[in-house]
Chain A
Amino acid sequence: AQKITQTQPGMFVQEKEAVTLDCTYDTSDPSYGLFWYKQPSSGEMIFLIYQGSYDQQNATEGRYSLNFQKARKSANLVISASQLGDSAMYFCAMREGLNGANNLFFGTGTRLTVIP
């Protein structure tokens, strides 16, 4: 089974509107971390936000927030007040366990296009 599933290959959003990028995950490990990365056309992976499996509150970082629904195993990224510079690929990722040496499993990504 896929560890990380992103069902939206592409999304469009009007500038200044909010958009939700979906991510579901699959793990039997009670300890895990969830990450979102942004990859613009230049290729670099930019860390956006992190949610630990034991975190009680949803993570927020500026215009980014993570809608963490543990029972549903979903970790959707919400981008508020979209900007043209938000157009990029977005990857959801998970690391199982508490060992930082464990690798990340990535989803297939969602390409977000912000329309002026």
Chain B
Amino acid sequence: GAVVSQHPSWVICKSGTSVKIECRSLDFQATTMFWYRQFPKQSLMLMATSNEGSKATYEQGVEKDKFLINHASLTLSTLTVTSAHPEDSSFYICSARGGQGTDTQYFGPGTRLTVL
């Protein structure tokens, strides 16, 4: 199946710093990627939909200036958490729609962010 990678898999940072998370589709081109966050023992909440070459579409309540998303190529999308605070600590997961016309979304392994 299609493979999506994320880097880093975990990161610890100080409050006030910015963190960039990369999401790559390894064996297919993804015109659309999605970013989710998941709090412990909760479901995935969609943050934004990222389309290659255009601005991301953010869900209601998600601050676009805090969570910067760039989808510069068909295989790479990045999420930057700017001026991170402890409440931003979460599990961030990206997904990409599978290539070859499939309807399936394939997920990356996730990035666990801890802000001290």
- Chain A residues engaging chain B, CB cutoff 8 angstroms: 33, 35, 37, 42-47, 50, 52, 91, 95, 100-101, 103-104, 106-109
Contacts and interface: CB of A to CB of B under 8 A. Distances in A.
A45 B107 CA distance: 6
A44 B97 CA distance: 16
Given A100-B97, A103-B49, A107-B43, A50 B103 contact: yes
A1 B88 CA distance: 27
B49 A44 contact: no
Given A106-B43, A109-B43, 9 more contacts: A35-B104, A44-B108, A44-B109, A46-B107, A50-B104, A91-B44, A101-B97, A107-B43, A108-B43
Nearest to A49: B104
Interface of B: 1, 31-32, 34, 42-44, 46, 49, 51, 91, 93, 95, 97, 102-110, 112
A50 B34 CA distance: 18
B46 A100 contact: no
Nearest to B91: A43
A47 B109 CA distance: 12
B43 A47 contact: no
Nearest to B34: A103
A109 B108 CA distance: 18
A44 B103 CA distance: 19
B103 A100 contact: yes
For the complex of A and B, list the 6 residue pairs with the smallest distance between their C-beta atoms, beginning with the closest. A45-B107, A44-B109, A43-B110, A101-B32, A100-B97, A106-B43
A100 B103 CA distance: 6
Contacts of B42: 108
